Amino acid sequence: GAGVSQSPSNKVTEKGKDVELRCDPISGHTALYWYRQSLGQGLEFLIYFQGNSAPDKSGLPSDRFSAERTGGSVSTLTIQRTQQEDSAVYLCASSPGAGLRKGSPLHFGNGTRLTVT
């Protein structure tokens, strides 16, 4: 594909419902990242995948958050029992190889804007 694709672009959900966010990375990119961006805050790291495995899940805010990646490609981020503080833009990024060697930049999707009412 031309770039990283995320869906949906916008999601409004009621407090307590589950949501699933999807990320299609650039073809061939083995590294995949999920970030959360709140207004006036820096990007908050959530999870990193290398292939299908997630060597670093340390950024997931609580056990309501989980993510998986299948076939070394598509990833889904699931938030269970959503809370209002989960409202943010969720960004996915990918890069070739094992992370950021030699300044290889991250390629970001446009994000999913999640609003929990």
Q: Does 34 bind other proteins (CB under 8 A)?
A: no
Interacting stretch for other proteins, rule CB under 8 A, among 15-23, 67-75, 80-88, 99-107?
99-107
Q: CB-wise, 76 or 104, nearer to other proteins?
A: 104
What is the distance between the alpha carbons of residues 111 and 97, in angstroms, rounded to a whole number? 22
- 39-58 positions binding other proteins, by CB under 8 A: 40-45, 48, 50, 56
Q: Residues 6 or more apart from 52 whose CB is under 8 A from it?
A: 69, 70, 71, 72
- Which residues would be at the binding site for other proteins (CB under 8 A)? 3-4, 31, 33, 35, 40-45, 48, 50, 56, 91, 98-101, 103, 105-111
